[in-house]
Structures are given as C-alpha cells and as structure tokens.
C-alpha cells in the first residue's frame, strides 16, 4: 500500500522551536472524492506566522495540536482529479497544503483554503513569495494601511525577508524614501539593490543613533516585521501623523505574550497623532487577485525582483523553519521536494 509521509507536531515548544518539535510519520495515501483533486507537493513555504500556529495559547487562527499535520502553504502538481475543472499535470498553489508529500484538496473551497492556478509566466514557487501571501502582505500594508506619500520616509524591519523585499520596492514605486533594517551586511547590500536609500544593521549598530541619522525628520511609515528593540527604537522616532503597520514579532515570538509589552508609547502617540494598526493578511484575502495582478504587472515591467533561499528535500522542512526563525535565511525560505 502506498504511504504518504507527513510532518506532525510532536509537542508545543517552550521557547524556540527545534527540529525535534516535529516528527516524520507515514500515513495511508489519501484518495480524492467527488469534486476533489489529489496533489503531490513540489514546494513548501516557511513563514514566521507558523510559529504562532504551534503555540498552545490563543492566536488569530486555530493552531496545530500535537499529533496533527503541520499547517503551511505550498505548490503541488495534480496527480489525480475528480474535478471537471482540474486536469492531471496542472500546478496548484494553496495555503491548505500542510507539511505532507500528498494531499487531497477541494478546489472550490473559498478563502485561504482555495486551490489557485499558477498564472502564466510566473515560476511556480513565486506564488509562495512575491506573487503570493508575502507579496499580498507588503501590498496591503503599504497601499491600504501605511499609504506613504511621495518623499515620506518609510522604515522597514526584516527588510531582506519575504515581505520586506517586496515592501521596499512598493514603497519606492509610491515615491517614498526607504530605510531598511536587516541583520547582515550582505542582506543590507541586497536592500540597497532593491532601492533602499539608507540601511541599518541591527546586529552591529546603535539602532537609535542610526535611525536619528537616517531619519532626521522622523519616521512617517513604519512596516514592523519584528517587534522587540527595533520596534521600540522606531516608535520613539515617529513623525507627526505617522502610520505604523504591525505585521510580525519574530524578535519576541518565543517569549510569553505578557512580556512583549514594548515601549510605553501612549504619550508618544498623543504627541504624534500616529495611527498603529495590526496586519493579518488573511483579513484582506478578498483583495488577493487584484493585488497579485498588480504585482505581476510590476514584475513584468522590471520593478519587482526577489531573492529565494531554497533547501532540498522533504526531510529538511523542520530545519528550514528553524533557520528562517533564527534569521539564517537570505530571502524567502522555501523547500523543494
């Protein structure tokens, strides 16, 4: 009997996840029912939001219990179809893939579980990066929440990551001046290549002093992908009527939530009249198709480029997750099967 390998959660981690947080198991090969398709995984996406899915506490979406297949998006090839609209050999992107070699999908399910065709001219794995959820996150964060005006200063943390890379380029297309924060000189060189006017190495620089030098008029838009000390330093330097997009907290995600209190910024919010808004991209899924069409056009016009960090082999999925959480990746973290 053919078997289907899958990574299941072994236990909720106390602190940073390790490869032992998951275990590899064999399960019976699934069979598609009426209106369903069977797919074979080709690419898996590793993203910081997944850390919240393996925490025992409440989150904005249901988490993964020990013994359950790890959640995550991926790209797969249709190997059997009982759906009239899908043929064997087609490529599909979905947030409902999970860490498994094969899966049965319901192509007509709405929302984030939907099965999406890869648009012509786009590499399949790009639908997990600039042409997928990270690209949509950057697009929504800037065009719907941050809305930088020409000449305004936009600060982006984790700027060489999957979201940050796209955010730099969108901010520049909107006429803003970008200050990129990342954790190595190589990553910062990449941010400059993408159009950042100033760069800050958060591992070696005095962040506050560097921000004072890079943002003499204050920060108009802050795309916060990290939380932690970077968040505190930028919040203390907001310009009047600044907009803050709280997108990620990878710097503090392994700490208890009640310790992540950040800067006591209420007085600063009064002085600057800043607006602070949390961003969970799944709230904006109704904009997905329109946003990705715009991103694809920018890519065709040469305005969007993107770097990927690829590990080979299903056995390396937990390793890829852990290196992404530690900031060891350079670009969007993917695993190719």
Q: Which CATH architecture has domain 3-129+307-336?
A: Alpha-Beta Complex (3.90)
* 101 Cβ neighbours under 8 A, 6+ residues apart: 4, 5, 6, 40, 41, 314, 337
The count of residues in the chain is 337
Give the position of tokens 């910062």: 188
pLDDT for 261 equals 55
Cα–Cα distance between 277 and 144 in angstroms, integer? 11
Residues of the chain with CATH 3.90.180.10: 3-129+307-336
Residue 291, exposed/middle/buried by CB under 10 A (0-12, 13-18, 19+)? buried
Cα–Cα distance between 70 and 13 in angstroms, integer? 13
Residues of the chain with CATH 3.40.50.720: 133-282
What CATH number is given for 133-282 in this structure?
A: 3.40.50.720
**Assessment of whether the complete model's pTM goes beyond 0.85:** yes
Each residue's pLDDT, cut to its tens digit, for the chain (337 residues) gives 789 999 999 999 988 999 999 999 999 999 999 999 999 999 999 999 999 899 887 676 678 999 999 999 999 999 999 999 999 999 999 999 999 999 999 998 888 788 999 988 899 999 999 999 999 999 999 999 999 999 999 999 999 999 999 999 999 999 999 999 999 999 999 999 999 999 999 999 999 999 999 999 999 999 999 988 999 999 999 999 999 999 988 766 666 555 555 555 667 778 889 899 999 999 999 999 999 999 999 999 999 999 999 999 999 999 999 999 999 999 999 999 9
Cα–Cα distance between 114 and 315 in angstroms, integer? 26
Name the H helices within the chain.
50-53, 133-140, 162-173, 185-194, 207-214, 228-235, 266-272, 288-300, 317-325
pLDDT for 314 equals 98
Chain-centroid distance, C-alpha 109: 22
């Amino acid at each position: 009997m053919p078997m289907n390998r899958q990574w299941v959660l072994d236990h909720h981690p106390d602190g940073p996840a390790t490869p032992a947080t998951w275990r590899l198991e064999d399960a019976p090969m699934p069979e598609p029912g009426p209106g369903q398709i069977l797919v074979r995984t080709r690419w898996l996406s590793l993203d910081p939001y997944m850390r919240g899915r393996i925490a025992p506490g409440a989150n904005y979406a249901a988490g993964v219990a020990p013994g359950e297949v790890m959640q995550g998006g991926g790209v797969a090839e249709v190997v059997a179809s009982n759906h009239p609209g899908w043929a064997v050999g087609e490529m599909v992107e979905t947030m409902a893939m999970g860490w498994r070699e094969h899966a049965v999908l319901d192509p007509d399910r709405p929302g984030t579980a939907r099965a999406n065709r890869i648009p012509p001219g786009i590499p399949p794995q790009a639908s997990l990066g600039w042409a997928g959820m990270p690209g949509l996150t950057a697009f929504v964060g800037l065009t719907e929440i941050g809305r930088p005006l020409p000449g305004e200063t936009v600060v982006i943390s984790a700027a060489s990551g999957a979201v940050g890379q796209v955010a730099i380029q969108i901010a520049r297309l909107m006429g803003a001046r970008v200050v990129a924060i990342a954790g190595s000189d190589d990553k910062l060189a990449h941010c400059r290549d993408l159009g950042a006017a100033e760069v800050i190495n958060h591992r070696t620089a005095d962040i506050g002093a560097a921000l004072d030098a890079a943002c003499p008029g204050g920060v108009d838009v802050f795309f916060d992908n990290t939380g932690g000390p970077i968040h505190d330093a930028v919040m203390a330097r907001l310009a009047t009527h600044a907009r803050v997009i709280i997108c990620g907290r990878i710097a503090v995600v392994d700490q208890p939530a009640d310790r992540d209190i950040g800067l006591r910024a209420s007085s600063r919010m009064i002085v600057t009249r800043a607006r602070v808004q949390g961003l969970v991209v799944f709230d904006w899924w109704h904009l997905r198709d329109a946003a990705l069409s715009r991103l694809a056009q920018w890519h065709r016009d040469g305005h969007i480029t993107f770097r990927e960090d690829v590990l080979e082999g299903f056995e390396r999925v937990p390793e890829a997750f852990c290196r992404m959480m530690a900031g060891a990746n350079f670009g969007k973290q993917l695993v190719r099967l």
